[in-house]
Amino acid sequence: MTDSRDPDALIRRAGRPDPDRDQHFLVDDRVLDRIPTYAEDFDRSHVLEIGAGTGALTDRLLAHADRVTTVERDRGYAQFLREEFSEEIAADRLAVVQGDALDVEFPDYTCCVSNLPYGVSSEVTFRLLPDREPAVLMYQLEFAERMAADPGTSDYGRLSVAAQHYANVEVVETVPPEAFDPQPRVESAVVRLTPREPDYEVADEQFFFDFVKALFTQRRKTVRNAIRNTVHISGLEDGDAVVDAVEEDVLSKRPGDLAPETFAALANVALGVQEGREP
């Protein structure tokens, strides 16, 4: 994309990012050019971008999307974006929202493509996932690997279960620190999230997530002991009654060995016992 804005020139015009404010801007043209292509199978009629910074990725997204809404917390950068992309804004192809992505109201969007601020990547992700819209998001590599991890692996945990409850999770590219300015101290990764309905049912989604969270605080224990030891987290009144309602082959495993569908079945049993229903 020879006509793309130069990311280093954008920084020179907009001002240096501050790593103490979680500002690490992607400046590698090759990575910037690839990121929108990971969303080529998605509906890109209205792309949401979170954490635009100086607009290097915004520029690429405008080449692929009909319309872009970008959210930027930094007031100075938001004003720069309005000036730098004044023509695109005038043509109603770009909207710049200044504010915190955890607080502002998102528009109706068809997919999200973002280099997320790493300090709030988890909170932003779990604000996006319930919308069940596709996304291509940049994370710290460790976080990305935990999102995509399989049961029985060391990276598998509550993040894996929760993310995979909403979407298929693919790590599509790893990105070195040198691709950013200033350079972070960690490697990064681009993750593609393709929404899907889970192939299992949960009786109460919030209880399901709370139950998974509780059991993973005891990941080295058996499921039997994890249920008993975490009633103060899960909200269960009688952990022993839940244990009595679960089959031994599940109770003898550790939480990290349970697939999401097994967690769902277990949570449904626990909720049934809690509410006095037959498991």
Residue ranges of the annotated binding site for S-adenosyl-L-methionine are: 24, 26, 51, 72, 100, 115
Q: Is-contact 33 59, C-beta < 8 A?
A: no
Can you read off the two tokens belonging to residue 237?
């009144």
Report which of 127, 117, 150 is spatially closest to residue 51, judged by C-alpha positions. 117
How open is the CA angle 127-48-89, to the nearest 5 degrees? 140
Question: Kind and range of the H or E element at 84?
Answer: helix 75-84
197 DSSP 8-state letter:
-
Structure tokens at 245: 């309602």
Q: Would you say 126 and 222 are in contact if contact means Cβ atoms under 8 Å apart?
A: no
Reference 78, options 94, 92, 96; nearest CA is: 96
Cα 138 to Cα 57: distance, rounded to the nearest angstrom: 11
Q: How many of the other CB atoms lie within 10 Å of CB of 210?
A: 17
| Cβ neighbours, 10 Å, residue 43 | 14
Cβ(68)–Cβ(94) under 8 Å?
Answer: yes
Is residue 54 within 8 Å of residue 5, measured between CB atoms? Answer: no
- In contact, 43 and 67? CB cutoff 8 Å: no
Binding site listing: 24, 26, 51, 72, 100, 115
Q: Which of 241, 232, 234, 242 is nearest to 214 (CA)?
A: 234
